[in-house]
Structure 1
Amino acid sequence: MNRTDFHKLFKTPGPVVLPVIHVLDSARTLKNVEVLLEAGAQGCFLINHDFEPEKFLPIIRDTRAAFPSLWMAVNFLAVTGKVAFPILGQLQSEGCQVDAYWADDACIDEDGANAEAKEIAAVRESSGWDGLYFGGTAFKKQRAVDPSRYGDAAREACPFMDVITTSGVATGQEADLGKIETFRAAIGDRPMALASGISPENAMSYADVDCFMVATGINEPGNFYDIDPGRLADLMSITRTLSKGSAT
């Protein structure tokens, strides 16, 4: 997938806004989905920050049942695609389509070996699941990558995922702009997602990122779980003024 195809998929020339909902139960999740759809966000990620994947699955099914046309993606916290893809394949076979999977750790080796990434790719292929893969690369709270090797890591990621996904050093922390520039130069015309630190206040600085995966920057103050409609509306307004590559 290239950047143009990615933006066509979501029908927007600027950064695609995918709020990340930290789920607790189905009712609260559905309420947050209603908020993001009202604001015009292109879809969402659901993540199980507080419990195991088994408890998460009914919430995924309930959300899909309530919103059949929603672009819905998930992250099973601390789980690689090797475990996630068979689960997603099973959900798909049951009629519960998950449109994308985000793994914090895509197991990319900047030195080029990529044995684990290759295993994950094989599991993905055999799972029958046909969604997009957002793979964490030089990602927060994972194995540290020396900043001098960011470009190598980004290049190595390209064959293994649909959307190269990176972050700042921690949840809610802005990504260094130099890191984003290095990734963009390394991956060329591949789509890039940023999964930490985006807010209405700094979004203009990340105009060359294709996808904003955002939670803390649009949530209610001091609230880890619920979207602030005003904050999200502000972010959506800003992204509508941007277009692919406008930061270059």
Structure 2
Amino acid sequence: MNRNDFQQRFGATGPVVLPVIHVLDAEQAQRNIQTAIDGGCKGVFLINHDFEKEKLVPIIKEMRRAFPDCWLGVNFLAVTGKYAFPILGDLQAEGTQVDGYWADDARMDERRSKDDQPEADEIAEIRKQSGWDGIYIGGTAFKKQREVNAEDYAKSARIATKYMDVVVTSGVATGHAADVGKIDTFREHCGDTALGLASGITPENAAQYADAVDLFMVATGINFEGDFYNIDPSRLKHLMDLTQK
């Protein structure tokens, strides 16, 4: 997806901020979605950090009913599109639209050529067969996955643009800011494809990424101090003020 088209879809002129909610239950998810909307966000991601993906599905349905106009993305933790796309397709067929899917690992392999990506090709075919028509945001050189050498970031980014709507990368771990040089390399080699950043984004450091990145996926950086689960409205406002030009 062209980066300008992505930003225009959300009515943004700078990076789109989509808070990541580590779901505990429906009440906590609904409360945090409302906080995000009240803070000016057009959408959120829900992630099952503390339980199996099957338990997240009914919460997704409930949140869609509660927020029919909110952009709703999901991340099934440690699950690739091979398993996620059929679930998303079934939800869509039943009338529950999930607008975006974020995979921690989109299964790019920079050790292979651009045209020899069997896992990514399989996932692309499964996505097509599922009928799901949302935005695919795929983790590339992403935290907690197979380590990718810095000299291979450029190749990873180029391969990724073939398979997903938004390429997303990260720092080395949750809460750790990404190296600016890594992001600059991804920006250059993603070309016009939208680029997302997850992990380590805070109101204090966001400005250094703002020109290169089209999507901020942020959790701990806008949560209450020491709280993994709940958005701090004041920190969210600070980040939104920085990204809205």
> So what's the TM-score if we normalise by structure 2?
0.97
Which residue of 208, 223, 226 maps to 1:222?
Answer: 226
Cα deviation per residue 1:17-40 (whole Å; 9 max; x = unaligned)?
A: 000000010011000011000000
1:246 paired residue number: none
Q: Secondary structure at the match of 1:144?
A: coil
Question: Are positions 1:189 and 2:192 aligned together?
Answer: yes
AA in 1 matched with 2:189: A
2:61 paired residue number: 61
Q: Secondary structure at the match of 2:162?
A: helix
Distance in structure 2 (CA, Å) of the matches to 1:114 and 1:189: 22
2:2 paired residue number: 2
1:232 paired residue number: 236
Cα deviation per residue 1:192-215 (whole Å; 9 max; x = unaligned)?
A: 000111000001000120000000
1:159 shift after superposition: 0.8
| Matched residues, number | 241
1:143 paired residue number: 146
Q: Secondary structure at the match of 1:194?
A: strand
2:74 paired residue number: 74
Distance in structure 2 (CA, Å) of the matches to 1:42 and 1:16: 8
Distance in structure 2 (CA, Å) of the matches to 1:70 and 1:187: 28
AA in 1 matched with 2:230: D
Residue ranges of structure 1 left out of the alignment (5+ in a row) = 242-248
Q: Secondary structure at the match of 1:192?
A: strand
Q: Secondary structure at the match of 2:20?
A: strand
Q: Secondary structure at the match of 2:186?
A: helix
Q: Secondary structure at the match of 2:49?
A: coil
1:97 paired residue number: 97
1:146 shift after superposition: 0.6
Q: Following superposition of structure 1 onto structure 2, how do residues 193-208 of structure 1 map, counting pairs within 5 Å?
A: 193-207=196-210, 208=212
Residue ranges of structure 2 left out of the alignment (5+ in a row) = none
Q: Secondary structure at the match of 1:102?
A: strand
1:141 shift after superposition: 0.4
AA in 1 matched with 2:36: L
1:152 shift after superposition: 0.3
AA in 1 matched with 2:163: F
Cα deviation per residue 1:96-141 (whole Å; 9 max; x = unaligned)?
A: 0000000000000113221100000000000010000000000000
Cα deviation per residue 1:156-208 (whole Å; 9 max; x = unaligned)?
A: 00110000000000001000000001001111111000011100000100012
Cα deviation per residue 1:37-65 (whole Å; 9 max; x = unaligned)?
A: 00001210000000001111111011000
Q: Supply the RMSD in Å over aligned alpha carbons.
A: 0.6
Distance in structure 2 (CA, Å) of the matches to 1:232 and 1:158: 30
Identity fraction in percent: 61
User: Stretches of 4+ moved more than 2 A in 1?
Assistant: none
Distance in structure 2 (CA, Å) of the matches to 1:102 and 1:150: 19
